[in-house]
């Protein structure tokens, strides 16, 4: 029963995130419910399903994939400060083509700001969170859970970039040149 519950929770969680990413579905739901109600309902459903998914991963049969070395318990603790910082910086990020970015922002590639480090701070935070927690929880259900979040985050970065290139085909080469998924070069050369 544990694997069935985990699969059901994962499938429902994924469906509630992928279906609304399809613009006609999302726009129709917003027209029907209103913007505030849509996002309130979406947030509640997502939270409930996320809690269920985490509980279901814990209930799934324990199948060790590799032995965890003692240092692996430190991975989430070391990763969480940058995760929180990236996620906080990502909320209202002045780049319209990313998760939690300001949709009405007009991004200037000549002054990219934080986007020089990453144009997807919230998604990068989620990917880092997933990898760090996978390192510390090397059983099959938790690896599927955490690496799944990391993989979806990387896929979402690609999706947002494709949408940005389609939305701003003339400006996309300059945006891509001035920004990155992740680049530490600006820390060494802040000019």
Domain ranges of the chain: 1-61, 64-191
pLDDT at residue 12 above 80? yes
Predicted TM-score (pTM) of this structure:
0.88
The whole-chain average pLDDT of the chain stands at: 93
Work out the angle at residue 50's Cα, subtended by the Cα atoms of residues 83 and 87, and round it to the nearest 5 degrees. Answer: 20
Q: What is the DSSP string of 41-99?
A: HHHHHHHHHHHHHHHHHHHS---BSSPPPGGGGHHHHHHHHHHHHHHHHHTTBS-SSST
Q: Is 97 exposed, middle or buried (0-12, 13-18, 19+ CB in 10 A)?
A: buried
- 142 close to 57: Cβ distance less than 8 angstroms: yes
pLDDT in tens, 118-134: 999 999 999 999 999 99
22: helix, strand or coil: coil
């Amino acid at each position: 029963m544990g694997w069935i519950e985990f699969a059901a929770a994962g499938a429902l969680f994924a469906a509630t995130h992928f279906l609304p990413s399809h613009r006609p579905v999302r726009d129709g739901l917003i027209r029907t419910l209103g913007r505030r109600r849509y996002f309130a309902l979406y947030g509640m459903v997502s939270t409930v399903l996320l809690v269920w998914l985490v509980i279901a991963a814990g209930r799934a049969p324990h199948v060790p994939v590799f032995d965890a070395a003692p240092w692996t318990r430190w991975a989430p603790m070391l990763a969480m400060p940058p995760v929180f910082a990236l996620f906080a910086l990502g909320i209202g990020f002045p780049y319209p083509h990313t998760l939690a970015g300001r949709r009405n922002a007009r991004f200037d590639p000549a002054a990219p700001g934080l986007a020089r480090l990453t144009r997807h701070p919230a998604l990068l935070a989620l990917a880092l969170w997933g990898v760090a927690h996978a390192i510390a929880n090397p059983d099959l259900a938790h690896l599927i859970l955490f690496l799944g979040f990391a993989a979806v985050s990387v896929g979402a970065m690609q999706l947002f970039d494709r949408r940005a290139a389609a939305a701003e085909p003339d400006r996309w080469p300059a945006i891509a040149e001035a920004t990155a998924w992740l680049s530490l070069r600006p820390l060494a050369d802040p000019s």
